[in-house]
């Protein structure tokens, strides 16, 4: 059995000192008394341990926003998958566009990160998405196909995988593709994913990019959309919880 739907994850990005993060986690715990789906948050690495502890006993998971492909070594500023696990994390975001485009991560390094994280038993949320220029040039599908085939080795464990479709031009911009567009892209992603990993029929497909309380229900009602990856709107407990409830 895969993860219970809806699967709604919050990427806190580089926001929150310890006190704010604990308050946000606490507000979610108060709301999520008996969630029937899957809820998770991805705080900054500096507060991962505190947030994971605050979430203990709840059904909300805590994960990291990235991990290094190597287990240890001279990689200043990086954290390994085993460190994520040691800090209480059970999941990790891999290939977020702010790392692909802001920090130059390519599919080859992402592929190694996916394997490193799964090697520690972490759930991997692999983020894929096209840029605005690729979208306008009709290159979206080619880009997504490459990200799936090059980012996922054939040995990837489908039971420890979530795929998040996040058009780069929709992240933090208030813009989203049309509902038809999202549905068509998710159907394409499901076909590509199963073509790559035959066991991936049940891998949750999340949409991410300017998901808000006002558009979450329509997006998550689409076929092959199993939930959402939420950035900005996940920093407000009430808003994030209402997105989860819309799913």
Question: Which residues participate in the annotated binding site for substrate?
Answer: 11-13, 172, 210, 231-232
Residues belonging to the binding site are 11-13, 172, 210, 231-232
CB of 73 to ligand PEP, least distance (A): 28
Residues in the interface with ligand PEP (CB under 6 A) total 14
Site for ligand PEP in 154-213 (CB under 6 A): 166, 171-172, 208-211
Q: Is 175 left (phi over 0), alpha (psi -120 to 50) or beta?
A: beta
Choose among 133, 138, 194: nearest CA to 163.
Answer: 194
Choose among 33, 2, 22, 21: nearest CA to 241.
Answer: 33
Nearer to ligand PEP, 15 or 143 (CB): 15
Torsion of CA 146, 168, 45, 123, to 10 degrees: -40
Point out the catalytic residue in the list 98, 166, 186, 192: 166
Choose among 112, 106, 35, 16: nearest CA to 68.
Answer: 112
CB of 199 to ligand PEP, least distance (A): 26
> DSSP secondary-structure letter at 68?
B
Contact of 179 with 200, CB cutoff 8 Å: no
Q: Which residues contact 19 (CB under 8 A, 6 or more apart)?
A: none
| Structure token digits, residue 193 | 């994913």
Nearer to ligand PEP, 80 or 210 (CB): 210
CB of 198 to ligand PEP, least distance (A): 28
Contact between 129 and ligand PEP by CB under 6 A: the answer reads no
CB of 74 to ligand PEP, least distance (A): 29
Contact between 229 and ligand PEP by CB under 6 A: the answer reads yes
Contact between 231 and ligand PEP by CB under 6 A: the answer reads yes
Nearer to ligand PEP, 37 or 209 (CB): 209
Q: Is 132 a catalytic residue?
A: no
| Structure token digits, residue 3 | 């993860």
Q: Is 96 a catalytic residue?
A: yes
Stretch that binds ligand PEP, among 29-37, 152-160, 198-206, 224-232 (CB under 6 A): 224-232
Contact of 113 with 68, CB cutoff 8 Å: yes
Contact between 243 and ligand PEP by CB under 6 A: the answer reads no
Residue nearest to ligand PEP (CB): 231
In whole angstroms, give the CA distance from residue 34 to residue 90: 20
**Residues that are catalytic:** 96, 166
Residues lying near ligand PEP in the complex (CB under 6 A): 11, 13, 166, 171-172, 208-211, 229-233
């Amino acid at each position: 059995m895969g993860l219970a739907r809806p699967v709604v994850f919050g990427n806190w990005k580089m926001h929150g000192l310890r006190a704010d993060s604990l308050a946000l986690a606490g507000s979610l715990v108060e709301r999520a008394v008996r969630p029937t789906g899957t809820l998770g948050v991805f705080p900054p690495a500096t507060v991962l341990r505190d947030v994971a502890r605050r979430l203990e006993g709840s059904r909300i998971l805590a994960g990291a926003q990235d991990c290094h492909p190597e287990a240890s070594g001279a990689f200043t500023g990086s954290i390994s998958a085993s460190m994520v696990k040691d800090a209480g994390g059970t999941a990790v975001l891999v290939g977020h566009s702010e790392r692909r485009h802001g920090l130059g991560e390519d599919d080859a390094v992402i592929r190694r990160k996916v394997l490193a994280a799964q090697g520690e038993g972490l759930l991997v949320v692999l983020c894929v998405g096209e840029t605005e220029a690729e979208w306008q040039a009709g290159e979206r599908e080619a880009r997504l196909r490459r990200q799936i085939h090059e980012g996922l080795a054939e040995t990837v464990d489908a039971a420890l995988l979530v795929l998040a479709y996040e058009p780069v031009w929709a992240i933090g911009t208030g813009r989203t593709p049309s509902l038809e567009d999202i549905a068509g892209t998710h159907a394409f992603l499901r076909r590509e994913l199963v073509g790559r990993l035959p066991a991936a029929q049940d891998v949750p497909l999340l949409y991410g990019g300017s998901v808000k309380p006002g558009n979450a229900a329509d997006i998550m009602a689409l076929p092959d959309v199993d939930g959402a990856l939420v950035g900005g709107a996940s920093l407000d407990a009430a808003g994030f919880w209402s997105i989860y409830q819309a799913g």
